[in-house]
Amino acid sequence: MVGLKLRVRNLTKNTVLADRADIADTSATRQRGLLKHTGLADGEGLWIVPCEGVHSFFMKFAIDVVFINKKRQVTKVRRNMVKNRIALSLRAHSTLELPVGMIDKSQTAAGDQLELEKYEG
């Protein structure tokens, strides 16, 4: 079965953060997260909703993390989060986990407006 995917655009900067992100919107998918992955390619990511904090315990690779509120505005970014770390944004409603470098490549910063578009993958 083919699941839903997500495109994420930064409307403020007119850049793309991900064009084929997975969606973790159940208890099981949120708990599993990226733990079984060995890396993320450009364009990939994981949108975790609801979520105001993530950890990188037992992760096999570093990630960039974007925290997003209900209005789809960036509340905080965390670049190059290596294993055994925790990142939180109490104002966030969801998080987007991305390959390291995507925050800088997309010029994403707190306050930017994002567009999240679901599609059949």
40-83 pLDDT tens trace: 999 999 999 999 999 999 999 999 999 999 999 999 999 999 99
Omega of the bond prior to 99 within 30 degrees of 0, cis?
no
Q: Would you say the pTM of this structure is higher than 0.75?
A: yes
Q: Where are the domains of the chain?
A: 4-120
In the predicted structure, residue 27 carries a pLDDT above the cut 50: yes
Inter-residue contact 73 to 113 (CB < 8 Å): yes
- H-run or E-run covering 96: strand 94-99
What is the CATH superfamily name and number for domain 4-120?
Answer: Protein of unknown function DUF192 (2.60.120.1140)
Percent of the chain with pLDDT over 90: 93
